Amino acid sequence: MTDLSVAKKAGKVAFDVDAIRRDFPILDQRINGKPLVYLDNGASAQKPIAVLDAMDRYYREMHSNVHRGAHTLGDRATSAFEGAREKVRSFLNANSTREIIWTRGTTEAINVVANGLAGRLKPGDEILVSHMEHHANIVPWQMVAERTGAKVLPVQVTPEGELDLESFTSLLGDRTRVLALTHVSNVLGTVNPVAPLIEQAKARGVITLIDGAQAVPHFQPDVQALGCDFYVFSSHKLFGPTGIGVLYGKAQLLEEMPPYQGGGEMIERVSFERTTWNVLPYKFEAGTPPIAEAVGLGAAIDYLDSLDRKGMEAAEAALLTRANQLVESVPGMEVIGTASNKMPVMSFKIAGLHPSDIGTLLDQQGIEIRTGHHCAMPLMDFYGVPGTARASFAFYNTLEEVEQLFTALQKIQRLFA
Burial of 237 (0-12, 13-18, 19+ CB in 10 A): buried
Catalytic residue among 375, 377, 385, 399: 375
Determine the CATH number of domain 17-43+308-416. 3.90.1150.10
What is d(CA 250, CA 94) in angstroms, rounded to the nearest whole number? 9
User: So what's the pLDDT on residue 13?
Assistant: 62
Of the candidates 199, 197, 219, the residue with the CA atom closest to the CA atom of residue 128: 197
**Paired strand residues for 37:** 367
SS3 state at 202: helix
**CATH topology identical between 17-43+308-416 and 52-305:** no
Of the candidates 337, 334, 134, the residue with the CA atom closest to the CA atom of residue 232: 134
What is d(CA 114, CA 5) in angstroms, rounded to the nearest whole number? 40
Query: Domain extents for the chain?
Result: 17-43+308-416, 52-305
Cis before 281 (ω within 30): yes
What is d(CA 414, CA 331) in angstroms, rounded to the nearest whole number? 9
Q: Give percent helix, percent strand, percent coil of the chain, each to the nearest 5.
A: 45, 20, 35
Q: Concatenated DSSP letters for 78-92?
A: HHHHHHHHHHHHHHH
Determine the CATH number of domain 52-305. 3.40.640.10
- Alpha helical stretches, state H, 118-268: 139-148, 165-171, 194-203, 223-226, 251-256
Told to judge if 375 belongs to the known catalytic residues of this protein, a careful annotator would answer yes
SS3 state at 376: coil
Indicate whether this model's pTM tops 0.75: yes
Per-residue pLDDT in tens (0 to 9) along the chain, 417 residues: 344 443 444 456 678 999 999 999 999 999 999 999 999 999 999 999 999 999 999 999 999 999 877 899 999 999 999 999 999 999 999 999 999 999 999 999 999 999 999 999 999 999 999 999 999 999 999 999 999 999 999 999 999 999 999 999 999 999 999 999 999 999 999 999 999 999 999 999 999 999 999 999 999 999 999 999 999 999 999 999 999 999 999 999 999 999 998 887 877 787 788 888 788 999 999 999 999 999 999 999 999 999 999 999 999 999 999 999 999 999 999 999 999 999 999 999 999 999 999 999 999 999 999 999 999 999 999 999 999 999 999 999 999 999 999 999 999 999 987
What is d(CA 367, CA 128) in angstroms, rounded to the nearest whole number? 38
Of the candidates 269, 268, 262, 253, the residue with the CA atom closest to the CA atom of residue 284: 262
